Every structure is written in C-alpha cells, then in structure tokens.
A = this chain, B = another copy of it.
Amino acid sequence: MLYICCMKLDEAKIKYIQTWGSLATSWGINKTMAQVHALLLVSTKPLSAEDIMETLQISRGNVNMNVRALIDWGIVNKEFVIGERKEFFSAGKDIWELFKQITKERKKREIEPVIKILDELQLIDDNSEEAQQFKKVLGDLSSVTNTVNGILDKAIKADEHWLLSNFTKVIKK
C-alpha cells in the first residue's frame, strides 16, 4: 500500500521528506520524527505503521516511538479506517494550525522553564557590585524571554488572516 502515483511528484515528495528531516536536526528535532510528519503531511490518505515503515525504511519500534511523540506534540492524529483493524495516522493539512501547535508546545517545553530558572537565580543574597551586574544580566535575559513569550502567545491566539495580513502590515510601521 504505497501513497505514490506519479514519478516526478513522487521524487519531489521524497526530496521534501529528506530535506525536512535534515533541517529538523538543526532545530533539535529528531530526524525521523520530522520525516514521519513530512510523510503524513504530503500523503493524501492516512497511513498505517507498516506504510511508514516501508516508505521510510525504518523499524516498527522507531515508527511507534516517533508517531507517539508526534501525537504528543498534537500535530498527528490517529484515524480509524472502516474495515481495518490496525491504526492509521494523519497530519493536519492546515499549516497555520501546525505552526501554532508547534509554537505552543515549544513555548511550554522550552521557554517557560527558562523564565522560571532565571527568576529563581535572581534571588541571590549578595549586593556587591559584581552581584548587581550579574542580576542585571539575568534581568535582561528575563525581559527578552518574557517579551518573546508574549509575542508567541499572541501569535498562537491570532487567527490566520490576522497574522498573515494585518500583523505584517502593523509591523512595517
């Protein structure tokens, strides 16, 4: 059961999947996880674990782990196909939704812990010149992080149209 139908198109899809996988690593994302998502994204129908295994040439365990992680990130869904016993998976095709979901998750997992730690470190019982300077750096780090966090919050809440047209225009001036 392959998702492929035309040659040139197939090549382009494969290239997209490969490219996405290698780009992912520079963002601290597992290569296979990115590839599985890319595959589901360009697939016209939900795929089973076996479909993914065959297409990406990876083991059952690997597929399972990465599909779970993607579901955990909220960017892949289980699908029930009538007449089929096994599970199928699909990725939402709304890219703005995808962007918002990823942003939301990374914010929660990576930015919020940073803010927490920076705030903790601020509480030093020391008022020397050097300590003041250190606290200043921490405070500035907090400030930037909080601002970015706030911007991401707004982006998550924004609907597609607003973010696309309105937002970019406002930004310009």
Contacts and interface: CB of A to CB of B under 8 A. Distances in A.
Given A28-B25, A95-B143, A137-B95, A9 B128 contact: yes
Contacts of A136: 93
A19 interface: yes
30 contacts: A5-B128, A6-B130, A8-B125, A9-B134, A12-B121, A13-B134, A19-B117, A23-B110, A23-B113, A23-B114, A25-B28, A26-B28, A26-B110, A27-B110, A28-B28, A93-B136, A93-B137, A94-B140, A95-B137, A95-B141, A95-B143, A95-B144, A98-B144, A99-B148, A147-B163, A147-B168, A150-B171, A151-B168, A167-B171, A170-B170
A131 interface: yes
A154 interface: yes
A44 interface: yes
A41 to B, nearest CB: 6
Given A26-B28, A137-B93, A164 B151 contact: no
* Number of this chain's copies in the complex: 2
A30 to B, nearest CB: 11
